[in-house]
Chains A and B, each alone.
Chain A
């Protein structure tokens, strides 16, 4: 039992509270924000160390013993995601300083930013299904505010749709938890897993399958899988770049994390139906995402549709449920969080230079902004999974797992999608960076030095993550190991 694992939730919470009081002074807000972001990052780094050395860490809040109180659980999967989240938050924070604008900074941008982190880190760490719902709500409430902050017409219009979709999915979440509670009589995730195991002597009872599908709908709405992604391209189009990067990198991944967690911990008995369904939806997400990414000529939209592709790839790996594919999924999840944040920030810089996100309206950026162009190029290669960058290792493992489990069609589609993803993102590079520069030479070069720092950091991390993947693999495979053997998780929480 260690109090360490609550720090990534507590630090942003306290920071958010302090920042509310500092809203008059932007400089003070920035300093406090940077320091607490570094503190959260350090804490989550030590959690990884601790989990790697001593196994799954569980913390019973208020010392109420495990199945009765709320438990926070940090296994390697959640520890890695919390660490990645904090890195991305730090980088987006740096980017915000120069791009988000005084008005937003004065109107509680930073406090809400940190409350969002409370929700995301909490959702990754909690070991209680209802507490997961509460952290989801914390996260969503902050995301509503971040989405609408600024109050332009498009933001207001899209916020209403986003809010409505999420209110409905929250109601479904409550319903799903209620059903689950009526069947198993507990809310502790380890305990639920144990009870479902007892119930599933010969196959999972039908009601559990119904609950599994309900959870898939709830988390699928947040994670934007195939039929439930409809809200995302519109809503994510509205906010400014750093907010978009946070949303694209973190919010959908919380949904993906929750699907992975519930399906590997609760619903692993009946692989015939639930995992089949997950696999079909994942493959359809890849297909639809790729079609969207290729069809649009708007740089924001292209990257947004690539989120759906990535979600599909990760969930396909989960649905195959072999050691290789799960390792690949965890790896790809971490990779995708980093690279999506980088891409959204880069797209934000391009929009701030050109003033438009339509690819037909600008070209030739590489002459004036070579660093931007080459960073984008590396990020694009990493996204598509070109070796030795980080996307490659994850996809390789997922495809390998897929072939080993005789799931040829899915693995082939994952492979094909890489090519089309590369095409969709190279379209930006070819049309936006190459070609003729606009004629008016008198234009001053936009000051993008500071803005470039953040995506360069992220792309460097991503490259390191790919080239040096041997060093990271023990951590990743430990995460996959816990997912494959729910007993490790249960034993750590219930202390049997």
Chain B
């Protein structure tokens, strides 16, 4: 199961990298979304994929699942959700202001150097 997950994560990272290297701003944002999905799946996998009951003392089970990675993912998802929302707004605003969504045209710095 872990091997399979490793492939899934690898494919996610691969597509994320491909998208982030493209020129359109929207694709870059989708790329960052995929990148964080990959990272979240990685946390889940790194915690160990075990079958077990909920980590409550009353369950009296032989195996418990590790609740911590899930808590971490939840936090990370919320954060990446917020950042993606901000990024989308920023991209829209800069499209209005700069008149382009092509990052090639956003190169360069101030005129005087």
A interface with B by C-beta (< 8 Å): 130, 133-134, 137, 141, 144-145, 148, 151, 153-154, 156-157, 159-161, 163-164, 167-168, 170-172, 174-175, 177-179, 181-182, 187, 233-234, 237, 296-298, 301, 356, 358
- Minimum CB distance partner of A361 in chain B: B112
A164/B20 contact (C-beta < 8 A), A151-B97, A174-B76 known: yes
> Residue A237 contacts which of B47, B82, B109 (CB distance < 8 angstroms)?
B109
CB distance A160 to B106 under 8 Å?
yes
Interface of A, helix, strand, loop or mixed by DSSP: helix
B interface with A by C-beta (< 8 Å): 20, 25, 28, 32, 35-36, 38-40, 42-43, 45-48, 68-69, 72, 75-76, 79-80, 82-83, 86-87, 90-91, 93-94, 97-98, 103, 106, 109-110, 112-113
By a CB distance below 8 angstroms, the chain B residues around A187 are 68
Supply 16 A–B pairs (Cβ within 8 Å), ascending by A.
A160-B90, A163-B90, A164-B20, A167-B36, A168-B32, A168-B35, A170-B36, A170-B79, A171-B36, A174-B40, A174-B42, A174-B76, A178-B39, A178-B47, A181-B69, A181-B72
CB distance B28 to A164 under 8 Å?
yes
By a CB distance below 8 angstroms, the chain A residues around B43 are 174, 177-178, 181
By a CB distance below 8 angstroms, the chain A residues around B38 are 171
- Minimum CB distance partner of A234 in chain B: B109
By a CB distance below 8 angstroms, the chain B residues around A161 are 106
- Minimum CB distance partner of A172 in chain B: B39
In the complex, number of A-B residue pairs with CB atoms less than 8 Å apart: 106
By a CB distance below 8 angstroms, the chain B residues around A141 are 82-83, 86
By a CB distance below 8 angstroms, the chain A residues around B20 are 164, 168
Interface of B, helix, strand, loop or mixed by DSSP: helix
> Residue A182 contacts which of B36, B47, B75 (CB distance < 8 angstroms)?
B47
By a CB distance below 8 angstroms, the chain B residues around A233 are 109
CB distance A144 to B68 under 8 Å?
no
By a CB distance below 8 angstroms, the chain A residues around B28 are 164
CB distance A154 to B86 under 8 Å?
no
A356 to B38 CA separation, bound complex (whole angstroms): 45
Given contacts A156-B93, A182-B47, list 19 more A-B pairs with CB under 8 A: A130-B72, A141-B82, A141-B86, A151-B93, A153-B98, A167-B83, A171-B32, A171-B36, A174-B39, A174-B42, A174-B43, A175-B39, A178-B45, A179-B46, A181-B46, A182-B46, A233-B109, A234-B109, A296-B113
A241 to B91 CA separation, bound complex (whole angstroms): 24
CB distance B98 to A156 under 8 Å?
yes
A358 to B20 CA separation, bound complex (whole angstroms): 34
A133 to B71 CA separation, bound complex (whole angstroms): 14
A157/B32 contact (C-beta < 8 A), A134-B79, A174-B42, A237-B109 known: no
CB distance A134 to B75 under 8 Å?
yes
CB distance B97 to A153 under 8 Å?
yes
Among all A-B residue pairs, the 9 with the closest Cβ atoms = A182-B46, A156-B94, A178-B46, A174-B39, A178-B43, A171-B39, A167-B32, A171-B35, A157-B106
A170 to B81 CA separation, bound complex (whole angstroms): 13
A38 to B24 CA separation, bound complex (whole angstroms): 46
CB distance B46 to A137 under 8 Å?
no
A8 to B86 CA separation, bound complex (whole angstroms): 27
By a CB distance below 8 angstroms, the chain B residues around A356 are 112
Q: How far is the CB of B24 from chain A (nearest CB, A)?
A: 12
Q: How far is the CB of B99 from chain A (nearest CB, A)?
A: 10
A358/B112 contact (C-beta < 8 A), A134-B75, A171-B35, A174-B42 known: yes
CB distance A178 to B42 under 8 Å?
yes
A163/B87 contact (C-beta < 8 A), A153-B98, A168-B20, A298-B112 known: yes
By a CB distance below 8 angstroms, the chain B residues around A159 are 90, 94
A171, A179, A187 pick with most chain B CB within 10 angstroms: A171
